[in-house]
Structure 1
Amino acid sequence: MLSKRYLNFDKRKKCLSCNSKNLTEILNLGLHSFADRFIKKNDLKKKDPSYPLVLDFCKKCSFIQSKYKTNPKDRYINYDYSYTSSNSKYSINHWKKYADNLERNYNLKNKTVIEIGSNDGLLSFFIKKKAKEVISIDASPFMVKLARSKKLKSYCYIFNFENSKKIKKISGLADIIIANNVFNHADDPKNFLKGVKNLLKKDGKFIFEQPYFLKTLATKKFDQIYHEHISYFTVKNIKNLLAKVGLKINKLYFNQYHGGSVRTICSFNQTASQKKNQVSKIRYEENKGIYKLNFFKNYSVYINKNKARINKIVNFYKMRKFKVIGVGAGAKTNTYLTFNDLNYEKIDFVTDASKFKIGKFTPHTRIPIKNDKIIKKYKKIVCIILSWNISTLLQNKLIKINKGIKFIKP
């Protein structure tokens, strides 16, 4: 499946895992801005930075990665990063359970924990109550400011090997390093792991969680794909990456966070049963066909047909003077809206609960973001739940606000 060429953009020429140049394009979603860059009203006249959102597949090792490069400073520093872990009860409960799980399995009382990609510090805050020491690291100055307001030791670094040396002077070696929904953001994942190795005690654990790409593909969703995500993780490519720096999988947990995530616990050692377990999971992925190019041809056909379906339904309701809205101003919302050509002329507004997003606009599509409560005032209103991973929760909430609301399947 070949796409049009974007000659003015900088491409990755090698596999981020095995360095092979044998890369082939598997998915092209067109031009997109950064998914977590919500626009202030005063900045509406400024042009959005836009880059091709395209995935490459390594024919040698099956790694899946973003084809085109973007600047991490543009992703996290030059604009206020908007997503906060404390945004919803669902998210708060997930990270509270995560901290409880760490305490149950590792007895944190005498442990030093480093959290990479700590966001607003929610998880570090929960862990601080249990551990000897917690150091939180994030690439966004705004998020570090929020974390420090929770009285956390929070520092602003884009995590890599060089910056791990600076962090080491602050923290020393860690018993546990955690990195949730950030390892897949690294421009150089092997360098990221080298930094982890530099900070981890010989008997320490590295625990990281991110969207599980098999789940994304199996549900035919594509909106977890955006510029902030560089690598798209399966058990096979997690194993291969870790092996590059001598880390090994101890255990894998799968959960429904972000619509389907995998949590990996790894260390410098591995038992025979742990190795056997990961082999069976890799075989399961291979049986699903996700390492075959034909799979992605069919996948692309599906999402384009669904695009036509969505636009037909939206046009139907717009002609009948309905307010057509989106619910949930997340990063994946922007991939969904941009790919499906759903701009401010088709979607009246998007609702969200975050005070950091209400009053702003979506990038590229320029749709205003409003409080959920506004839907109460409309008699003819139909919505697309864009935060589909918590669709049941949101649907129940919206019906309580407006019993007459209708729903469009994303």
Structure 2
Amino acid sequence: MTTCRLCGSASLIGVVDLGATPPCERFLTAEQLDEPEMTYPLHLRLCADCRLAQIPALITPEDTFTEYAYFSSYSTSWVEHARRFVADAVERLRPGFVVEVASNDGYLLRHVVERGIRCLGVEPSANVGRAARDAGVPTVTEFLTPESGSAIRAEHGPADLVVANNVYAHIPDVAGFTRGLRALVADDGWVSVEVQHLLTLMELNQYDTIYHEHFQYYTVDSAQRALASGDLTLVDVELLPTHGGSIRLWARPSGTGAEPGPRVAEVLAREKAAGLHELSGYAQFADRVARVRRELLAFLVDAAAQGRTVVGYGAPGKGNTLLNHCGIRPDLLRYTVDRNPYKHGRFTPGARIPVLPPDQIAVDRPDYVLVLPWNLREELTAQLSYVRDWGGRLVFPIPRLEIV
């Protein structure tokens, strides 16, 4: 990687190097265990000029999203988050037509359908898009580009609201994707983008959210520039607890004359105070990442030495970054479980840890359960409350090792 994908600068500064790992959603079948696995460098760099944090685009979205293992509806809290967003957006904006980009299995637009509002999902993964259509959510199988956005607009009309939740980090062509958003939205419409906030990623050591599907990592400062590359003006921002700390960016076509509101200035000031508008603010991150690795490995090695059993809960993409960076294998983590049946009987990429149904935990009654989707802590603590029945304990690895 030699130049910034947003501004073209050659001044890229290393932030943290996590070695080489396989793509985080390429779960293996039993038949693939004796086959070689491709791994790719996972090195986060910062552009010294526009301050966009990014990794090289070594795999393409087509490699990842044509057939995808992640179905949003398996997270109860995420579906509820989407329901609240739809309720608030409909109340405030009164949209007549809503388009969601990267609409997955219809987890969000189903709430729009229930309200009788015309909508359309734009989802590149054929398998999850099919699940959305089966659930009654109109969905087209497309990657968003300026051309596909214009074609969708020509066929379906301009959208009053375009939603792009947790996709803005997944697109290596930031400017092209943003122009696609502009093509979809009406000239007086709204675009809502949710993406993890680099501020909380840095402050809370959330390095496991760095993986090959995420090509860039945004502050409001860098997101404002990215939106402008597609003729969209950032007018408001909300701080959200999702994914360990996210931002919801509200943008409008630049021709509306809308200006950034006071909350934009407030978050920019927080970022600046944290040092993220300067290179120096990133200098200690690699050391904090190394500490997370040492603490987790020390716990797992000690548990194994004492004959204690440790299993995992969840098989998210972030978990695979953590497992591979720490070098964790089945001798330290016997298996993990996941609610998504697509992953059952498969093995995590790289670490090759078996993925089983959730009820296996109650059968085996392990001493510890390592919670890999730590961002769903409240939801999963409630779901796993039965573990205390036999004296089991939950382990959270991020931001620091915690046993509860």
Instruction: Give the TM-score category using the shorter length.
Output: over 0.9
In the other structure, the counterpart of 1:156 is 141
The 1-side partners of 2:184 and 2:289 are apart by 42
Letter in 1 for 2:153: K
In the other structure, the counterpart of 1:363 is 349
1:134 CA displacement: 0.9
Letter in 2 for 1:389: N
RMSD: 1.8
1:176 CA displacement: 1.2
In the other structure, the counterpart of 1:8 is none
**Change in 2 beyond 3 A, CA 1:380/1:123:** closer
Query: Would you say 1:92 and 2:109 are equivalent positions?
Result: no
In the other structure, the counterpart of 1:64 is 53
Gaps of 5+ in 2: 398-404
In the other structure, the counterpart of 1:4 is none
TM-score (norm 2): 0.92
Q: Is the 8 A contact 1:250 1:270 kept in 2?
A: no
In the other structure, the counterpart of 2:324 is 338
Query: Would you say 1:199 and 2:184 are equivalent positions?
Result: yes
| Residue 299 of structure 1, aligned match among 285, 308, 318 | 285
Letter in 2 for 1:184: A
The 2-side partners of 1:151 and 1:376 are apart by 35
Count of aligned residue pairs for this structure pair:
394
The 2-side partners of 1:37 and 1:138 are apart by 19
SS of equivalent to 2:69: coil
**Change in 2 beyond 3 A, CA 1:149/1:291:** same
The 1-side partners of 2:366 and 2:328 are apart by 19
| Residue 170 of structure 1, aligned match among 126, 140, 155 | 155
Query: Would you say 1:316 and 2:302 are equivalent positions?
Result: yes
1:197 CA displacement: 1.3
Gaps of 5+ in 1: 1-10
1:350 CA displacement: 0.7
Output one character per residue of 1:195-242: Cα deviation in whole Å (capped at 9) or x when no partner. 111222110111111111111111111111111111101110111112
The 2-side partners of 1:295 and 1:338 are apart by 26
| Residue 105 of structure 1, aligned match among 84, 88, 92 | 92
**Change in 2 beyond 3 A, CA 1:247/1:345:** same
The 2-side partners of 1:107 and 1:331 are apart by 35
In the other structure, the counterpart of 1:125 is 110
Q: Is the 8 A contact 1:249 1:265 kept in 2?
A: yes
In the other structure, the counterpart of 1:214 is 199
Output one character per residue of 1:303-359: Cα deviation in whole Å (capped at 9) or x when no partner. 112212211110111122222111111111111111111122221001222222222
**Which shows bigger deviation, 115-124 or 240-249?**
240-249
SS of equivalent to 2:281: helix
In the other structure, the counterpart of 1:249 is 234
Output one character per residue of 1:112-157: Cα deviation in whole Å (capped at 9) or x when no partner. 1111000011111111222542111111111111111112221111
Letter in 2 for 1:63: L
The 1-side partners of 2:238 and 2:257 are apart by 16
SS of equivalent to 2:217: coil
In the other structure, the counterpart of 1:3 is none
1:289 CA displacement: 1.2
Query: Would you say 1:381 and 2:370 are equivalent positions?
Result: no
The 2-side partners of 1:94 and 1:324 are apart by 31
**Change in 2 beyond 3 A, CA 1:408/1:277:** closer
SS of equivalent to 2:359: helix
The 1-side partners of 2:27 and 2:229 are apart by 36
| Residue 39 of structure 1, aligned match among 28, 42, 46 | 28
The 1-side partners of 2:169 and 2:100 are apart by 15
In the other structure, the counterpart of 1:30 is 19
**Change in 2 beyond 3 A, CA 1:123/1:408:** closer
Query: Would you say 1:55 and 2:44 are equivalent positions?
Result: yes
Letter in 1 for 2:101: I
Q: Is the 8 A contact 1:160 1:195 kept in 2?
A: yes
The 1-side partners of 2:194 and 2:160 are apart by 18
Identity among equivalent positions (%) equals 25
**Change in 2 beyond 3 A, CA 1:145/1:316:** same
**Change in 2 beyond 3 A, CA 1:105/1:131:** farther
SS of equivalent to 2:207: coil
**Change in 2 beyond 3 A, CA 1:160/1:131:** farther
SS of equivalent to 1:356: helix
| Residue 173 of structure 2, aligned match among 172, 185, 188 | 188
Q: Is the 8 A contact 2:16 2:44 kept in 1?
A: yes
The 2-side partners of 1:270 and 1:223 are apart by 39
TM-score (norm 1): 0.91
1:49 CA displacement: 2.6
1:370 CA displacement: 1.4
**Change in 2 beyond 3 A, CA 1:139/1:379:** closer
